[in-house]
Structure 1
Amino acid sequence: MFPPQSGTAMMLVAFASFGLAFIVRPVGGVLLGICADRAGRKAALSAIIMMMSVGTLLIGITPSFASIGIAASVIIVGARMLQGFSAGGEFASATAMLLEYAPRGHRNLIGSFQACSQALSFALGGAAAYLLLHNLTPAALDSWGWRLPFLFGALIGPIGYYIRSRVDESPEFAALIEQRRHVRAERLSLLQIVQRFPRELLGTLGIVAVCTTSSYVGLIYIPLFAGSQLGLDPSAGQLGMLAGALVLLVMCPITGLLADRYGRRRVMVPAMLAYGVLAWPLLSSLVNAPSTMNLIRFELVSAMLMAFFWGPSAAALAEAFPVQIRSTGMAIVYNVGAMCFGGLAPLINAWLTRMTGDRLAPAWYIAASVLLGTLGVLAMTQRRAELHEAQQHA
């Protein structure tokens, strides 16, 4: 889809086009978050899935650069930006609805299914890529095979729209709508949200930083890095991603349940610190002795630790904001964090590795995100304690 270039340069171009979608995510997140907070979660989620489906279909049917030249690059970038715009509102709106249906005392468990859905998507993506790499010749894969996951993925759009357009609004949001009928509620602008909730925004941004870094560096960049820089077979990278995603899929509900019982801080912070400490020796082992087993070990250990802060993260973000601005607040932090620490992370890590010559650079990037995540969890748990104390005095 792009002009032919050298291997390393082509990887940078690919990561740049991947990262472009994350630049528009904050815009889509805020606009769709405002829509979800005013028109309803159902309307926003129905529109979001159709936009994502159209963007995915465009990628699957666009002719190659050899056929239509630079137009192929333009269409692909446009499709990625449409995906990014719609994805910007997905997490916030879906999480808001999910948590607003959850009974108190079980919100970490119910919220963990948001993380499960992301893990399932990584697992399905990794499985699809592995099957294609393993069963098709390079010529067939380059010619038409790579399009199959996008074409099948686009089929989810109509099915998802049918389901989402028929679901009821969450009880909390329905109560807010009823209240608005009798009392003219204050509608906060984006600037007012930033001014009134700086601690919530910064605290949750730290949580998003470590969660998105762990996914886009650990599950996406490292497997591709192992194939392009360490000489492993590309299918080994997809197998490693699949293994890590399956661990997350199984473990996230368990960690959500533990967070409901023992508190988020006790579950999330030790795992974050262990993840930051172990990233260097795990990556060093892979770099010094590249093998499929070392890659899978990296993914399995990383995913086991990631699950302890992935599982409770959705509830932590949702409970930070009141219902009337919940989607907008989460959209701001999630998409700014996803842009800076997620979508651009593969590009930044590829650039850092190339410029410094240090193939362990991703481990330091992970360690920095862990510091932000730990501070974020501590800030939010302290904030909850202060609010609880204030309510008792009131």
Structure 2
Amino acid sequence: MSATALDSQGRERRKLVLAVSVGAALEWFDFTLFAIFALQIAVAFFPASDPLMSLLASYLALAVGFVARPLGALLMGRYADRRGRKAALTLSIMLMGAGTLIMAVCPTYEAIGWWAPLSIVVARILQGVAAGGEIGGALAYLVETAPANRPGLFASSQQVAQAVSFLLCGVSASLLSGVLTPAQLDEWGWRVPYVFGLLVVVAGLKIRRSLEESEPLRRFLDNQDKHAMARKGPSLRPYLPNLVMGVLIVVLWTVATQLINFMPTYASMVLELPRNKAYLGLVLVGLITLLCPLTALLSDRIGRYTVMLIGAVGIALCAYPGFVWLNNNPSLQALISFQCGLAVLMVLYTGPASAALAELFPVQVRALGVSLAYALSVTIFGSSTPTLTTLIYRQSGDPLAAAHWLFTAACLSATPLAWMCLSKSRASSSMRIAIQRKYE
């Protein structure tokens, strides 16, 4: 292949990675913003005599978006497998944009009463449906268009998008809390990042409309009976074990991510540190998460499950000591050190996780399988993380509530990874023995 052709192919691949990643960045940007500004959103839309109950109400609204994910995964995932990745990715970013618009302009409870929290719940449902189908179509597209020896590297662009969203959220929260007074931040300042998100929607929609359909899916659809596909489509039933494993893989991914988002609130509620100082940790977490392509590239060479297992075991071993140390040293330096340490271990886990999830399913059900596995895990485990840790702390006063949940998540995810590593090791040993016997 000529140098000109290679350069053109490289430009096209960079374009498709950017087009797919912008939706992931917007998804995490919106969800992270809601978690970061939970206290402001609680005051604006869910007022209560008890501030902690108001905060819980806002977290329940956050959870509504998570609960809507399985519905979005089912509808959007099937749509992506039947009509194409491009069509589904375009629709998902439009739905995200609608939810973001509501968050940016919705009047407060004081202005319109119960219509305000109802509107926020509608926004969360729209964002949840969009996010539920976004990751399936995105990862399917990335894996199917990647070079044969680099699916992990290409799929890790989703983690890079997540890192960029952490950076944007952390920087915007730090700047706004530094420039505005607390009253201004509570009144209107928290809406500014959502307005910025609307600009990202417009740019992302334009880029996604210029995408070409993935070749493996196009070949599959061309060989199918269009009427049969429209009526029923491929079934996910033969791949239910893969779906269960996918759910378990995502558990640690989503719980650790939500805990990182929750840390500014944890710092204020448990450690009694100023929230505006805690935002700096999110910026550093975003920078560390940019290293995900390196661990993804490593997994392309030595195997995904091995790299991920190292990260999961590391988090399980450090969960309790980390939180005990943090509670015994409630300082900004300790908080940032804890967040950065968790982020480093998360890079080992999440870097290869996107490709590992996509590779569990064949092309005809890949978007649906990935979307459902991710949505179910995020809904069951991720959405409950801030609410559960807050409730446990409120009822028992246990400052290690978050550590209990993080350790459980790490064990749940490490178990299938360890089994897969052992299975592959046994298969390799059996193959070596068979080859040796053949030549004896």
- Return the match for 1:111 from 140, 150, 155: 155
1:178 Cα deviation from its structure 2 partner: 2.2
- Return the match for 2:127 from 83, 93, 99: 83
Alignment of 1:180-219 (within 5 A): 180=224, 192-193=235-236, 195-217=237-259, 219=260
- Return the match for 1:141 from 159, 179, 185: 185
1:122 Cα deviation from its structure 2 partner: 1.6
- Counterpart position of 2:276: 235
Q: 1:47 to 1:185 in 2, by over 3 A?
A: closer
1:332 Cα deviation from its structure 2 partner: 0.9
| Mapped pair 1:289 → 2:329 | yes
TM-score by length of 1: 0.93
| Mapped pair 1:280 → 2:336 | no
| Mapped pair 1:25 → 2:65 | no
Whether the 8 Å contact between 1:200 and 1:380 is mirrored in structure 2 is no
Whether the 8 Å contact between 1:109 and 1:257 is mirrored in structure 2 is yes
Q: For 1:6-47, what per-residue CA distance to the aligned partner results, in whole angstroms no more than 9, with x for missing partners?
A: 232222112111111000110011100000000000001001
Q: 1:294 to 1:138 in 2, by over 3 A?
A: same
- Counterpart position of 1:102: 146
Code of the aligned partner of 1:205: V
- Counterpart position of 2:137: 93
Looking at structure 2, the residues matched to 187 and 270 of structure 1 have their Cα atoms a distance apart, in angstroms, of: 44
Looking at structure 2, the residues matched to 17 and 383 of structure 1 have their Cα atoms a distance apart, in angstroms, of: 42
SS at match of 1:311: helix
Whether the 8 Å contact between 1:22 and 1:344 is mirrored in structure 2 is no
> For structure 2, which runs of at least 5 residues remain unmatched after alignment?
1-44, 432-440
Looking at structure 2, the residues matched to 386 and 325 of structure 1 have their Cα atoms a distance apart, in angstroms, of: 29
Whether the 8 Å contact between 1:240 and 1:296 is mirrored in structure 2 is yes
1:241 Cα deviation from its structure 2 partner: 1.5
How many matched pairs? 387
Looking at structure 1, the residues matched to 130 and 357 of structure 2 have their Cα atoms a distance apart, in angstroms, of: 19
Whether the 8 Å contact between 2:70 and 2:372 is mirrored in structure 1 is yes
- Counterpart position of 2:51: 7
1:355 Cα deviation from its structure 2 partner: 2.0
Q: For 1:46-93, what per-residue CA distance to the aligned partner results, in whole angstroms no more than 9, with x for missing partners?
A: 010011011011011011111111111111111111111111111111
Code of the aligned partner of 2:268: G
Whether the 8 Å contact between 2:82 and 2:233 is mirrored in structure 1 is no
Worse-superposed segment, 177-186 or 367-376: 177-186
- Counterpart position of 2:200: 156
Q: 1:126 to 1:373 in 2, by over 3 A?
A: same
Q: 1:76 to 1:383 in 2, by over 3 A?
A: farther
Tell me: higher relative CO, structure 1 or 2? Use CA pairs within 8 A at least 6 residues apart: 1
> For structure 1, which runs of at least 5 residues remain unmatched after alignment?
none
Q: For 1:126-174, what per-residue CA distance to the aligned partner results, in whole angstroms no more than 9, with x for missing partners?
A: 2111111111001111221111111111122221111111100112112
- Counterpart position of 1:309: 349
Whether the 8 Å contact between 2:319 and 2:406 is mirrored in structure 1 is yes
- Counterpart position of 1:376: 416
Q: 1:101 to 1:5 in 2, by over 3 A?
A: farther
1:5 Cα deviation from its structure 2 partner: 3.2
Whether the 8 Å contact between 2:310 and 2:349 is mirrored in structure 1 is no
Q: 1:169 to 1:220 in 2, by over 3 A?
A: same
1:180 Cα deviation from its structure 2 partner: 2.0
- Counterpart position of 1:56: 100
Q: 1:46 to 1:82 in 2, by over 3 A?
A: same
TM-score by length of 2: 0.83
Looking at structure 2, the residues matched to 2 and 297 of structure 1 have their Cα atoms a distance apart, in angstroms, of: 33
- Counterpart position of 1:325: 365
Q: 1:386 to 1:61 in 2, by over 3 A?
A: farther
- Return the match for 2:172 from 113, 128, 131: 128
| Mapped pair 1:357 → 2:397 | yes
Please say which structure displays the higher CA radius of gyration. 2
| Mapped pair 1:72 → 2:116 | yes
Q: For 1:253-310, what per-residue CA distance to the aligned partner results, in whole angstroms no more than 9, with x for missing partners?
A: 1100111111112211121111111121211122222111111001110000000110
Whether the 8 Å contact between 2:82 and 2:230 is mirrored in structure 1 is no
CA RMSD of aligned residues (A): 2.4
- Counterpart position of 1:174: 218
| Mapped pair 1:342 → 2:401 | no
Whether the 8 Å contact between 2:149 and 2:300 is mirrored in structure 1 is yes
Whether the 8 Å contact between 1:204 and 1:380 is mirrored in structure 2 is no
SS at match of 1:202: helix
